[in-house]
Structure 1
Amino acid sequence: MGDGQKILFWTDKWLMGNVLSTVTPTEIPEDILGLTAGELWIDGVGWDLTKIAPYVSANTQLELSAVVVVDRVTGRTDKMAWGETSDGRFTVSSAYRFLSRDLFSRPDMSKLFRSIWRVVAPERVRVFFWLLGNNRIMTNQERFHRHIGDTELCQICKADIESTLHILRDCSAMSGIWERVVPREKHQVFFNMSLLEWLFVNLVDSSMTEFGPWSTLFAVAVKCKEDGEGAVGREERLISWLPPLIGWTKLNTDGASHGNPGLATAGGALRDGEGKWCGGFALNIGRCTAPMAELWGLYYGLCIAWEKGFTRLEVEVDSSLVVVNMCIGRLIVLQMDWQTMHFP
């Protein structure tokens, strides 16, 4: 979503995940059916609910409250995004998975299970891989689908759905380890395989490392990750507010979601080097995930800082997801002439 001038609010599939006209409880009048998202947005107010509320459910209104037509300032326009990846970028592998989703039955698992029982590793490691191959690991995604959990999100990185593959490979708590262990030339293949492909390819890899066969190293590393869940020792840290550098202003923001996704709020405060109050905000967002609430807090904080003329800004947030995306430039949507700094 950019300025909302190209997206048809009711008939396009955009940030809401569904075509709104297909889930409305009542028929939408022809005179508003062709309106764009930008035409239903009021600057400084939000969505024009007088034209929207009569045709959508209360839950949809809450979800809309957490979506903003971001950019009437920097001139950004609406862009197409690929819905089968988390970052909206098209990949051949995601297209193949999408096209073949309903074409093939469950693959022949005999080769995978043979590789599991042949790997040189302790018996409990082999049993764990047998459970993996049979999709018997109780992840948050599985708990949510069985209605015994209230969220699918990973509670370590809070950045993605906690699937089996996310726990063992893609979570920030594990991906950094794999990046150091796996040779750089193999990263692209290693991090883009499906779960069953990933297990099979690595379990049949007999190449030698300084610690022995790769298949053994891989199997033990995966099992150690599973054994280490919840075993992290407690670390006590004293939390206090530290003033910014002289001439700078500090922005502290936070966001939370009850249910994740659920009703969400965000807030923030601006203070100078002496700790004096320079401004702040608190808002009810609507219905969204915890990471989205954190991003809302940062977005509003930056907007208020700019409006008040604070162009030399230190930002403190407690979300590693926000920090990572800020550092790689994914969240820099306010192209203003200000100075920022990052303390890793």
Structure 2
Amino acid sequence: MNTELIPSTVCKSIDRMNRDFIWGDEEDKSKMHLVAWDKMTQPKLQGGAGLRSLKQANLAMLAKSGWRLLKEKDSLWTQLMVAKYGRQRENLDIIRPIQGSSFTWRSFTKASDLLRKGCAWNIKNGKRTKFWLDPWVLQVPLKEVALGHIPESDTAEPIERFVEEDGTWRTELFEDLIPSDVFQKILSIGVDKMATEDDTIFWSASSDGRFSAKTAYSLQNQGTPDPDEDVWKIIWSLPVPERIRSFLWLAFLGRLASNSHLFSRKVTNNQSCGSCGHPVESILHILRDCTAARYFWLRHSPPGLQASFFNMDESDWLRGNLRNSEPLGSGMSWAAFFSVASWLLWKNRCTSSFRGSSSALSPPSLEYSIMAKCKLWHEAWQAPSPLPYGRGSMTARTTVMVGWTPPIHGWVALNVDGASNGNPGAAGAGGVLRDGTGNWIAGFLANFGTATAILAELWAVFHGLVMAWKKGYRAVRLESDSQLAIQLINNRSDPVHPHATLLSAIRRKIGQDWLVSITHVYREGNRVADWLSKHSLVYPYGVHEVANPPPELASIVREDAMGISFERRIVAMDSTSL
């Protein structure tokens, strides 16, 4: 799988074995396949079952070998392969078809398109990457999406020419030549002209920039977002057994083997309900409208919603109930209760169909059975797991009072926060410097185009440190409500991280001749910076200093200075870190 392209006939044969196993086929007996294999291999959040196509898995593993060719330049096998087939070429151009090459090399080249799709440039000092000719923002060079003519003399200019010494972009050189959405992406990219490292390739499909076969596989199945993605997410994360999740998945796809479905596939010539005689036994009829189901739901559907509960069509009925996370008196959510009850109604219908109506439970007995099993399963799901972090393990929580705390004598407090409207989306940052009495020293607002939430948080830290240094303070307590940002700053083993350039710049700022402590604070203790970050989105590109607190923010600043705090439920073990 890592070195050879498996023939299509072999892939199809193994996929067929998987399909037969899933649906219970035997050598001399074939059963009905309720869902097409192409749908089964789609990601769960796109309505599939998350199974893997062998051909796509093979390409993902070959792409892994291609990635190693690019990154493990000192290994013997890489040197051998590149010397034989990739001479006088760099980076992704190394992996391309060569006449007379080995089958292994030809296999690698089959995954080159996938590798190109997932690779991106991590701009560090901007000396080697060409602004217009290299695919560093998009999968294609910027020259191909330019809105105007690029002079031939400018096409080979490196990225560093388009950046000021302090890392801000010289927007006047390219703002009118590229689409606005691409322009906004560029503004959020950091370039460190002081860095000694050259630009490198990272894997854009993973959050840490490192290649994984899992993300390479997922990259092949990326499509337009499913409008019911939230429903699929709910189904596959419900606190119920996996068999019930699979049942709900089939029900929402309309693939349960009801008589109407069997009739449409010419498996039966009778589509009526065997329990109540209704002329069409649809999924909705089985789960809601049949005698036993209606008897149950009239007694247990949400109060005040019975009229709409029995008047919705099938998809809206399933969608609405699965999205209802309101807790019941037992502590079980409505969505989980609805799921278990629907599955038991389906099981009772199957008992009636296969063993005769006399074997099925009567409506009152069925109601009692459903309520008893819902209670039993909910208690079992909530029971502590024997594994330390297994399903059902309960984490103790406690209520604490959280607010802004002043710095100790001789120090200043720097609170920062980032905001992204869409993740990725319009992004900005804000921060404030205050003394030991809570007095406002200085603040800033920064707008830097389109970015993810974590990139916004890192920019907030960087601009906050720049402001504190320029103001002459040499003992700074920096607080952020992003634990991930703090972890990334403290973790130095990230040469291929998508934000490695900005992280290096932050660490270099911290390493200057001053004292900086970085701590995590909950949002209740970071309200001023949170307000500034959200309001930065209406400002033009760049960093804007705020000498005095805006009138709308003054009350929050006063409350912080007075020591006002707020209740927050936290994991008990975290209380010592406040």
TM-score when scaled to structure 1? Answer: 0.57
Please tell me the residue identity of whatever aligns with 2:175. Answer: A
Match runs of 1:150-169 below 5 Å: none
**For 1:55, what is the secondary structure of its paired residue?**
coil
Instruction: Report how far residue 262 of structure 1 moved.
Output: 1.9
After TM superposition, the structure 1 stretch with the greater mean CA deviation from structure 2, 302-311 or 328-337, is 328-337
1:287–1:17 Cα change, 3 Å: farther
**2:157 counterpart residue number:** 35
Identify the residue that residue 61 of structure 1 maps to in structure 2: 183
Is the contact between residue 314 and residue 341 of structure 1 (CA under 8 Å) also seen in structure 2? Answer: yes
Quick check: 1:318 aligned with 2:520?
no
Matches within 5 A, 1:98-247: 101=220, 124-128=241-245, 221=391, 238-247=401-410
Partner in structure 2 of residue 281 of structure 1: 444
Change in Cα spacing, 1:327 to 1:135, as seen in structure 2 (3 Å) is: farther
Selected match of 1:298 from 461, 465, 488: 461
Measured in 2, the distance between the counterparts of 1:66 and 1:240 equals: 31
CA deviations on 1:212-232 (whole Å, 9 max, x unpaired) are 8x9xx97xx2xx59xx9xxx9
Aligned residue pairs total 237
CA contact (8 A) 2:167 2:193 kept: no
Alignment partners' CA distance in 2, 1:134 and 1:303: 56
Residues 252, 7 of structure 1: alpha-carbon distance in 2 compared, 3 angstrom cutoff: same
* Matched residue, 1:340: 516
Q: Per-residue deviation at 1:245?
A: 2.3
Q: 1:130 to 1:18 in 2, by over 3 A?
A: farther
Which is greater in Rg?
2
Are residues 1:258 and 2:421 paired? yes
Give the 3 Å change call, closer, same or farther, for CA 129–16 of structure 1 in structure 2.
same
Asked if the contact 1:263/1:287 (under 8 Å) is kept, the reply is yes
2 CA distance for matches of 1:90 and 1:320?
24
| Alignment match of 2:199 (pick from 78, 83, 90) | 78
8 A Cα contact 1:84 1:94, kept in partner: no
Deviations 1:99-122 (A, max 9, x none): 9x59xxxxxxxxxxxxxxxxxxx9
Question: Could you tell me how far apart the structure 1 residues matched to 2:401 and 2:163 are?
Answer: 44
Q: Note the C-alpha offset of 1:271.
A: 1.6
Q: Give, in angstroms, the shift of residue 239 of structure 1.
A: 4.0
Q: What secondary structure is seen at the aligned counterpart in 1 of 2:190?
A: coil
- Aligned equivalent of 1:271, options 434, 442, 446: 434
Any gaps of 5 or more consecutive residues in structure 1? 103-121, 137-209
Alpha-carbon separation, structure 1, partners of 2:132 and 2:126:
12
The alignment partner of 2:442 has SS state of strand
Give the letter aligned to residue 287 of structure 1.
T
Q: CA–CA distance in 1 between the matches of 2:427 and 2:181?
A: 13
- Residue of structure 1 equivalent to 2:574: none
Structure 2 length-normalised TM: 0.36
Give the letter for the 2:243 counterpart. R
Gaps of 5+ in 2: 1-122, 222-238, 254-383, 495-502, 520-576
State the Cα deviation string for residues 256-300 of structure 1 (Å, max 9, x = none).
122222222211011222323332211222122222212111110
Are residues 19 and 325 of structure 1, via their aligned partners in 2, closer, same or farther at CA, if it must alter by over 3 Å?
A: same
Indicate conservation of the 8 Å contact 1:85/1:94, yes or no.
Answer: no
Offset at 1:310?
Answer: 2.5
Percent of aligned positions that are identical: 30
Aligned residue in 2 for 1:22 = 144
Matched AA of 2:436: G
Structure 2 counterpart SS, 1:251: strand
RMSD: 3.9
Alpha carbons of structure 1 residues 94 and 32: separation in structure 2 relative to 1, 3 Å: farther
3-state DSSP of counterpart to 1:80: strand
| CA 96–312 in structure 1, closer or farther in 2 if over 3 Å, else same | same
Kindly provide the amino acid, as one letter, of the partner of residue 206 in structure 2: T
Residue-by-residue CA offset, 1:1-58 (whole Å, 9 max, x unaligned): 2121111111222255553223223342212111111011123583223321232012
- Aligned residues of 2:412 and 2:436 also touching (Cα < 8 A): yes
Amino acid across the alignment from 1:319: S
- 2:58 is matched with none
Q: 1:78 to 1:259 in 2, by over 3 A?
A: same
Secondary structure of the residue that 1:270 maps to in structure 2? strand
User: In the alignment, residue 21 of structure 1 is paired with which amino acid?
Assistant: K
Q: Residue 417 of structure 2 contacts residue 431 of structure 2 at CA under 8 Å; is this kept in 1?
A: yes
* AA aligned opposite 1:323: I
- Match for 2:142: what amino acid? L
Give the direction of change, closer, same or farther, for the CA distance of 1:280–1:324 in structure 2 (3 Å limit): same
Question: Does the CA-based 8 Å contact 1:16-1:64 persist in structure 2?
Answer: no
Q: Distance in 2 between matches of 1:16 and 1:302?
A: 31
Q: Describe the SS at the equivalent of 1:67.
A: coil
Displacement of 1:255 in angstroms is 1.5
1:249–1:270 CA contact under 8 A, matched in 2 = yes
**Cα distance in 2, alignment partners of residues 309 and 255 from structure 1:** 24
Asked if structure 1 preserves the Cα contact closer than 8 Å seen for 2:206 and 2:215, the reply is no
Question: Equivalents in 2 of 1:134, 1:7: separation in Å?
Answer: 51
Residues 1:78 and 1:311: Cα distance change in structure 2 (over 3 Å): farther
Change (3 A) 1:123 1:73: closer
Letter in 1 for 2:517: M
Q: Cα distance, 1:250 vs. partner? A: 1.4
Amino acid at match of 1:292: L
More helix by share: 2
